[in-house]
Homo-oligomer: A and B are copies of this chain.
């Protein structure tokens, strides 16, 4: 009589395929950047049918978020940021992002530290993540707002957002580490709002 292998201990073919696709995705996003990478190219590198990539991950953005281990799919929370008074966009970005990060930190925060560490690394993963955050996330916001110099504004927002995450969650400098979320929103909203819609020096 053969012994029964418990369901959870068995590694299914599906798990392997999923992992193969993730490895291929990291490679493609690293090599070509987010914008130029296609689901088809990832499928080709993984040696699977493109339909399977869609089946497992749904969209390029969801696949990216899983591949780089983001705590949320930015496209899915972006609607909450874009809707409403344009002059409150900075506050909405902070409220949304801090909610995601605080939840992540409450679960241990290992993913946040790993993300930050990969940003401080000047290799493939950093470039891929930075390009995604500035060109996809913040640039969608600046484009939506119709601001001039959208790339500069996106990079300025990125620089304050990444500094805030580092200070609150990794370095844990007080009083920012223990401050309540809404207090931080009030501290940082004027900064992000100026970066998004305020007057900036002319590009040189």
Interface residues of A (CB under 8 A from B): 113, 116-117, 119-122, 126-127, 130, 134, 151-152, 155-156, 158-164, 166-168, 170-176, 179-180, 183, 186-188, 190-191, 194, 200-201, 203-204
Whether A113 pairs with B122 at a CB distance below 8 angstroms is yes
Q: Interface on chain A toward B: helix, strand, loop, or mixed SS?
A: helix
Whether A172 pairs with B122 at a CB distance below 8 angstroms is yes
- The CA-CA distance from A48 to B106 in the complex, in Å, is 46
Whether A126 pairs with B175 at a CB distance below 8 angstroms is no
Instruction: Name 15 extra pairs, CB < 8 A, besides A159-B163, A191-B194.
Output: A119-B120, A119-B166, A119-B171, A120-B120, A120-B170, A126-B171, A151-B174, A151-B175, A152-B187, A158-B163, A158-B167, A159-B160, A159-B166, A180-B204, A183-B201
Whether A152 pairs with B175 at a CB distance below 8 angstroms is yes
Query: Cβ of A168: which chain B residues have Cβ within 8 Å of it?
Result: 159
Residue among A155, A173, A176, A188 with the highest chain B CB neighbour number at 10 A? A173
CB distance from A43 to the nearest CB of B (A): 29
Q: Name A120's contact: one of B116, B179, B183 (CB within 8 Å).
A: B116
A117-B120, A167-B159 in contact; A201/B173 too (CB < 8 A)? Answer: no
- The CA-CA distance from A113 to B123 in the complex, in Å, is 12
Please, could you name 27 A-B residue pairs with CB atoms under 8 Å apart, sorted by A?
Answer: A113-B120, A122-B170, A122-B171, A126-B170, A126-B171, A127-B171, A130-B171, A152-B176, A158-B163, A158-B173, A159-B163, A159-B167, A159-B173, A159-B176, A160-B163, A160-B191, A163-B166, A166-B166, A175-B203, A179-B204, A180-B204, A183-B201, A186-B200, A187-B200, A187-B201, A190-B194, A191-B194
